Amino acid sequence: MALDRLIEVDDLIERVRAYNPRSNEELIRAAYDYGGRMHAGQFRQSGEPYFTHPVAVASILTEMRLDDATIITALLHDTIEDTRSTYQEVSQTFGVHIAELVDGVTKLTNLQLSSSESKQAENFRKLLMAMSKDLRVILVKLADRLHNMRTIKSMRAEKQVQKARETMDIYAPLAGRMGMQWMRDELEDLSFAVLNPEGRNSIMRRFIRLERETGDVVKKITADIRKELKKAAIEGEVRGRAKKPYSIWRKMQEKGLSFSRLSDIYGFRILCSTEAECYAILGAMHQRWRAVPGRFKDYISQPKSNGYRSIHTTVSGRDGRRVEIQIRTFQMHDVAEAGVAAHWSYRDGVPSENPFAVDPKKWITSLTEQFEAAEDHDEFLEHVKLEMYADQVFCFTPKGDVVKLPRGATPLDFAYAIHTRIGDSCVGAKVDGMRVPLWTRLKNGQSCEIMTAAGQRPQSTWIDIVVTGRAKAAIRRSLREEDRERFVKLGWELARVAFEHVGKRATQKALDTAARQMGLGEASELLARLGSAELTAREVVSALYPDLGGEEPDEIDLSRSVIGLGPDQSFERAQCCQPVPGERIVGISYRGKGVIVHAIDCPALEEFQDEPGRWVDLHWHSGNHPAGHTVSLDVTISNDAGVLGRICTLIGEQKANISDLHFADRKPDFYRLIIDVDLRDVEHLHAVMLAVEAESDVASISRYRDLNRRP
């Protein structure tokens, strides 16, 4: 294995001076010498001197043309943590500003971002706090992770997997969120090589085979584009490349396509001088090649929050092969490469005066403000991951204002993005003037109008419709406030049964202690969440008695899964609404039939409003239910080979059994199916529906409810 060569201080200084002739050469040299002394005698697992790593990190940052402070921080970023150096010594030698940056990187290094969910969420908060003080600490940390991934083969196999997974889950999306797409692509591809080496090798082999069969496609298409630019008398620079193996693999998995059927595996960039030329080039490209519908994005008129500006279009190019083309000015390209880091980059010896660079303080403020609504760790983590992974769509209000949302967002997300009050009172939506269901997925450029009504309150089913953390948090908060008293009462009963199950008593003190242990403050909050199924009784018991509550309990007998029946009463699940454990239920008594259990929102209950004597207050047992509760799913899929097989496989992967299936409707291009699935509880139901809904050939999925299927 080739070892990293230690970059000499003169070489490093020369790299900095190439873009910043006014750099402080003496201070960089002093930092290089200091770091070398502090790390003397330390070695990396590959056997090379440890100091090669900080120097390599500094070198990566010179490629981004960053300022002296960032370069010096990179040289010193491990001194406080791994050597005898101290914050005070670095502060005295290099100044308080540098010492704070080095200390910030040290604190980021100590965050265990791949730990348990609650710990991970708290560390994300700390990460954002560190970023908010000075974003350059995360730039150094990302360069540090990039070099570690480039040299990961020297680590133990299990350590490689852990680092690669952490990089794929956290650092790569964060680089992308900051606008440094090149770094995201490389981090993902390096992680891919560790996590799925055979998958990556198969992509590489197919590329080689394709090149052998078709020749250098990139070179040919580049020549085609240059020819069109020359015809249009536009000066532009054309750059072409094959997309990274991981990017291709991800598309294959998402679309369920083989490599041979995958389109747009090549990407091209056209760089020009002015914004007007960008649109002229777009016209020339569309005049020469047919544009692919739905694959056009104009980030020049609607820039991303990290400053990214570009026109994206996909055309059917040479031999009908789909080609993605990005069109931008040279200044836009600088920001597209550096992202938020463009604020600190230098050009010709002075800080770059790029009009498209984003103010890092405003960017980090807008990012953190989106997470302030989160009331607990899980919600915060949900916000962060959705925000980092989101590919945005831009929709318009009736007045023409732009609302940015993650891909997959619905009119409900749109409503909550405008104002929580609008979301809470939403009763319907119009998209481009047409009335649509609230679960409709919004597309780029659509206009959305929200209809509201006084007295409307969020429904529990909305949680499964929205995708943004802001909307989910607002809905949960409203539902908790509205149902809090009822949930607390139900939570008491669930806690009492769960504690008795392990031979303990659910006293006020025990519940207060459990609430503090779970970070919920007081027992009433714990009981409200327990009653609303946001917590399980086993989690509450485990908080106080890990040895008693942590083990998976025996499955509950189906005949005993409902609590609240009389000694001689039996029950059946209503087939009209098919309630499952975790959902709120009520019973209706029948002479000779026992009790029929309905979901609390079942329309069939309306006919019993004048017969209160037949209503039975019920709730599900809080234990571990078997997969014996049948639910009918209404699924519309495209009429294509293999789609039904994939749907059945997805359901099986969720450990759910299909007990019946029939076709409700057949069209030339779509099938509508009613699939009966045996499930454990409402969480199991949501997992199955989510897995199926994510399949690209599924047009819609919902629970099938038929009021004719009643006793």
Taking the C-alpha atoms of residue 56 and residue 71, their distance in angstroms, rounded to an integer, is: 11
At residue 112, the pLDDT reads 56
Q: Is 281 exposed, middle or buried (0-12, 13-18, 19+ CB in 10 A)?
A: buried
At residue 664, the pLDDT reads 87
104, 133 Cβ separation under 8 angstroms: yes
Instruction: Determine how β-strand 346-347 pairs with β-strand 350-351.
Output: antiparallel
678, 627 Cβ separation under 8 angstroms: yes
Write the pLDDT tens digit of every residue in 219-239: 888 898 999 999 989 988 999
DSSP state letter for 680: S
Catalytic member of 48, 81, 483, 678: 81
Helices 217-231 and 275-288, axial angle in degrees (round to 10): 110
pLDDT band at 263 (very low <50, low <70, confident <90, very high): low
Ranked by mean pLDDT, the top range of 121-125, 318-322, 352-356, 695-699 is 695-699
Percent of the chain surpassing pLDDT 70: 84
581, 620 Cβ separation under 8 angstroms: yes
Tell me the backbone φ, ψ of residue 673, rounded to 5 degrees.
-115, 150
Cα 441 to chain centroid, rounded: 17
Residue among 532, 534, 413 at smallest CA distance from 474: 413
Task: Find tokens 């025990």 and name the residue.
Answer: 510
CA angle 341, 329, 273 (to 5 degrees): 130
Choice between 632 and 173, residue whose per-residue pLDDT is larger: 632
Residue among 175, 163, 147 at smallest CA distance from 58: 147
Taking the C-alpha atoms of residue 60 and residue 272, their distance in angstroms, rounded to an integer, is: 26
**pTM flag (> 0.75):** no
Contacts of 286 (CB under 8 A, 6+ apart): 313, 315
With 50 as the cut, is the pLDDT of residue 445 above it? yes
Average pLDDT over residues 201-207: 80
At residue 550, the pLDDT reads 47
578, 677 Cβ separation under 8 angstroms: no
DSSP state letter for 624: B
Token pair in block for residue 440: 């409709």
Structural domains of the chain, ranges and CATH numbers in brackets = 9-194 (1.10.3210.10), 199-351 (3.30.460.10), 390-467 (3.10.20.30), 475-549 (no CATH), 558-620 (no CATH), 629-703 (3.30.70.260)
Ranked by mean pLDDT, the top range of 333-347, 412-426, 642-656 is 412-426
* Residue 651, amino acid: I
Token pair in block for residue 600: 């609390």
DSSP state letter for 49: B
Taking the C-alpha atoms of residue 583 and residue 569, their distance in angstroms, rounded to an integer, is: 21
265, 353 Cβ separation under 8 angstroms: no
DSSP state letter for 604: G
With 60 as the cut, is the pLDDT of residue 631 above it? yes
Of the listed ranges 116-120, 157-161, 508-512, the least confidently predicted one is 116-120
Taking the C-alpha atoms of residue 257 and residue 426, their distance in angstroms, rounded to an integer, is: 39
Taking the C-alpha atoms of residue 476 and residue 467, their distance in angstroms, rounded to an integer, is: 13
12, 58 Cβ separation under 8 angstroms: yes
Write the pLDDT tens digit of every residue in 485-512: 777 888 888 888 888 887 778 888 888 8
348, 362 Cβ separation under 8 angstroms: no
pLDDT band at 2 (very low <50, low <70, confident <90, very high): very low
Helices (H), 110-255: 117-133, 136-150, 157-166, 172-177, 181-195, 197-214, 217-231, 245-255
Whole-Å CA distances, 412 to 426, 472, 480: 7, 10, 19
Choice between 345 and 62, residue whose per-residue pLDDT is larger: 62
210, 258 Cβ separation under 8 angstroms: no
Ranked by mean pLDDT, the top range of 100-109, 126-135, 351-360 is 100-109
At residue 412, the pLDDT reads 93
With 80 as the cut, is the pLDDT of residue 107 above it? no
With 90 as the cut, is the pLDDT of residue 54 above it? yes
At residue 422, the pLDDT reads 92
Token pair in block for residue 551: 């083990």
With 90 as the cut, is the pLDDT of residue 414 above it? yes
Average pLDDT over residues 438-467: 86
Taking the C-alpha atoms of residue 596 and residue 604, their distance in angstroms, rounded to an integer, is: 11
* Residue 80, amino acid: I
At residue 147, the pLDDT reads 93
Contacts of 429 (CB under 8 A, 6+ apart): 411, 412, 414, 415, 435, 436, 438, 440, 448, 449, 450, 451
Catalytic member of 25, 82, 122, 693: 82
Write the pLDDT tens digit of every residue in 358-411: 666 666 666 665 555 555 555 555 555 545 545 567 788 888 777 878 778 899
Tell me the backbone φ, ψ of residue 532, rounded to 5 degrees.
-95, 10
DSSP state letter for 167: I
At residue 525, the pLDDT reads 85
Based on the residue annotation, tell me whether 401 is a catalytic residue of this protein.
Answer: no
Ranked by mean pLDDT, the top range of 189-198, 200-209, 487-496, 687-696 is 189-198
Taking the C-alpha atoms of residue 361 and residue 120, their distance in angstroms, rounded to an integer, is: 24
Overall size of the chain counted in residues: 711
Token pair in block for residue 132: 């908010």
With 60 as the cut, is the pLDDT of residue 546 above it? yes
Ranked by mean pLDDT, the top range of 196-200, 293-297, 700-704 is 700-704
At residue 150, the pLDDT reads 92
Ranked by mean pLDDT, the top range of 198-202, 553-557, 580-584 is 580-584
Whole-Å CA distances, 341 to 302, 308, 371, 410: 20, 12, 22, 32
Averaged confidence pLDDT in the chain: 81
At residue 554, the pLDDT reads 58
Q: Please provide the DSSP assignment of 90-128 as one string.
A: HHHHH-HHHHHHHHHHHHHHT--TTS-HHHHHHHHHHHH
Residue among 489, 621, 604, 643 at smallest CA distance from 555: 621
With 90 as the cut, is the pLDDT of residue 241 above it? no
Choice between 77 and 335, residue whose per-residue pLDDT is larger: 77
350, 315 Cβ separation under 8 angstroms: no
Average pLDDT over residues 441-455: 86
At residue 397, the pLDDT reads 85
Taking the C-alpha atoms of residue 595 and residue 598, their distance in angstroms, rounded to an integer, is: 10
At residue 364, the pLDDT reads 65
pLDDT band at 269 (very low <50, low <70, confident <90, very high): very high
Of the listed ranges 2-11, 71-80, 506-515, 595-604, the least confidently predicted one is 2-11
Torsion of CA 214, 215, 221, 222, to 10 degrees: 170
With 60 as the cut, is the pLDDT of residue 349 above it? no
With 60 as the cut, is the pLDDT of residue 122 above it? no
Taking the C-alpha atoms of residue 215 and residue 211, their distance in angstroms, rounded to an integer, is: 5
DSSP state letter for 594: E
CA angle 543, 474, 396 (to 5 degrees): 145
Percent of the chain surpassing pLDDT 90: 21
Number of H helices, E strands in the chain: 28, 23
DSSP state letter for 381: H
At residue 28, the pLDDT reads 93
Based on the residue annotation, tell me whether 82 is a catalytic residue of this protein.
Answer: yes
Of the listed ranges 18-32, 129-143, 300-314, 388-402, the least confidently predicted one is 388-402
Strand partners, 394: 404
